[in-house]
């Protein structure tokens, strides 16, 4: 794909290609038609593919996911947009008890190729319910796949892979990075569930995904000025997690710091810390550290900077890890 695309445009192109390639692909969501979605990710698609395939739904999240399940049973491949992270909870039963379990309950007789796109996480100065990181809920649910891209190339190809998957995929879009631009390659260079080492290093491994990958890359660049070489792993997939890549990295560096916006308590970092301890115990020079949100409701925007992990908090954790 020629030139630099924003993540938003890369996603839009991915939806367009998916609609073009498979007549069974449908988009469903609130304000995704004429408006093109509140973030314009579906911009122009209803005009080109019609109201039957790019469907402005009633304002009912459970209804959107529940009818998407029925459409999947009829042979369609729905891609659902939840307008914001905090509004997915009305659909929680349909996602967790219906969508995720249907394939197992039917002993494999039916497939659930439903993609649920959710703009997630904070940093855009929004009012409440518009900045949440709820990946742990979904990762905790067997039957769902959970992924999040951090750049335009991955946004494009991972979304196409997610839509092509015969399993339900929760596709989390780092909304504060929607306007970040990057090169989008001509083909997917990795599978949907592979992690990517986005910066090599030797002294410690920063593990992040979605919006925090950029923060970690900046932290690594800053640390280099102090002579510290930090490796950055972009998980890309939250369920399943590519532990092989994580393990390989941490065995080399001996130190791991997991960074996410979601609250630290019971967050992905806890799972990663436990697994790294099990797999890399004799290679570790320090306990696995976690940097993330606090056990508090996502704060009002005037103080969100203090809640969100930033370069300084990541470097503070690096200092602590290296001090062991």
Partner 1 sequence: MTVKSTTRARKKAAPAVPDTLPPVLSEAQSSESQPDAQPELIQLLTPEGIRVEHPDFPLTTTPEELRSLYRDLVLVRRFDAEATSLQRQGELGLWASLLGQEAAQVGSGRAMRTGDYAFPTYREHGVAWCRDVDPLNLLGMFRGVNHGGWDPNEKNFHLYTIVIGAQTLHATGYAMGITKDSADDAVIAYFGDGASSQGDVSEAFTFASVYNAPVVFFCQNNQWAISEPTTNQTRIPLYRRASGFGFPGVRVDGNDVLACLAVTRWALDHARSGNGPVLVEAFTYRMGAHTTSDDPTRYRATEETESWKVKDPISRLKAYLEHEGLADEAFFAELEAESEQLGLRVREGVRNMPDPDPTLIFDHVYAEPHTLVDEERAEYEAYAASFEGGENH
Binding site for partner 1 (CB under 8 A): 52, 57-58, 60, 62-63, 65-76, 90, 93-94, 97-98, 101-112, 142-143, 145, 165-167, 193, 239-243
CB closer to partner 1 out of 85 and 242: 242
The tokens for 110 are 């039916």
* Catalytic (active site) residue 130: yes
Residue 286, both tokens: 């320090």
Q: What share of the chain is helix, strand, coil (3-state, %, to 5)?
A: 40, 20, 40
Pick between residue 70 and residue 300 the one whose CB is nearest to partner 1.
Answer: 70
Integer distance in angstroms from the first to the last C-alpha of the chain?
46
Q: What is the CA radius of gyration of the chain?
A: 19
Bond before 293 cis per omega within 30 degrees? no
Query: Is the Cβ–Cβ distance between 249 and 198 less than 8 Å?
Result: no
Active-site residue among 130, 156, 193, 260? 130
Per the structure block, which two tokens stand in for 197? 């080492």
Compute the distance between CA of residue 172 and CA of residue 149 in angstroms, rounded to an integer: 8
Active site residues: 130
């Amino acid at each position: 794909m020629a030139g630099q695309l924003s993540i938003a445009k890369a996603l839009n192109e991915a939806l367009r290609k998916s609609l073009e390639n498979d007549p069974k692909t449908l988009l469903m969501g609130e304000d995704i038609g004429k408006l093109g979605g509140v973030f314009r990710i579906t911009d122009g698609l209803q005009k080109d593919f019609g109201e039957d395939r790019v469907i402005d739904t009633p304002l009912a999240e459970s209804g959107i996911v529940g009818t998407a399940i029925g459409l999947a049973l009829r042979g369609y491949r729905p891609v659902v947009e939840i307008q914001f992270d905090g509004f997915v909870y009305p659909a929680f039963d349909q996602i967790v008890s219906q969508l995720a379990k249907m394939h197992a309950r039917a002993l494999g007789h039916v497939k659930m190729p439903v993609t649920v796109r959710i703009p997630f996480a904070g940093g855009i100065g929004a009012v409440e319910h518009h900045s949440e990181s709820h990946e742990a809920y979904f990762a905790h649910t067997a039957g769902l796949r959970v992924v999040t891209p951090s750049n335009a190339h991955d946004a494009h190809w991972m979304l196409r892979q997610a839509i092509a998957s015969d399993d339900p995929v929760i596709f989390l879009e780092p909304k504060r990075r929607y306007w970040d631009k990057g090169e989008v390659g001509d083909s997917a260079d990795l599978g949907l569930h592979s992690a990517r080492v986005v910066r090599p290093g030797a002294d410690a491994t920063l593990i992040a995904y979605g919006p925090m990958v950029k923060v970690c890359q900046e932290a690594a660049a800053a640390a280099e000025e102090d002579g510290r070489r930090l490796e950055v792993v972009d998980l890309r997939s939250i369920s399943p997690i590519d532990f092989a890549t994580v393990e390989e990295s941490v065995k080399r560096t001996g130190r791991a710091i997991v960074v996410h916006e979601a609250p630290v308590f019971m967050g992905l970092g806890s799972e990663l810390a436990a697994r790294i301890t099990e797999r890399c115990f004799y290679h570790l020079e320090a306990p696995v550290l976690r940097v993330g949100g606090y056990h508090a409701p996502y704060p009002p925007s005037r103080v969100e900077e203090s809640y969100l992990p930033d370069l300084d908090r990541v470097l503070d954790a690096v200092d602590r890890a290296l001090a062991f």
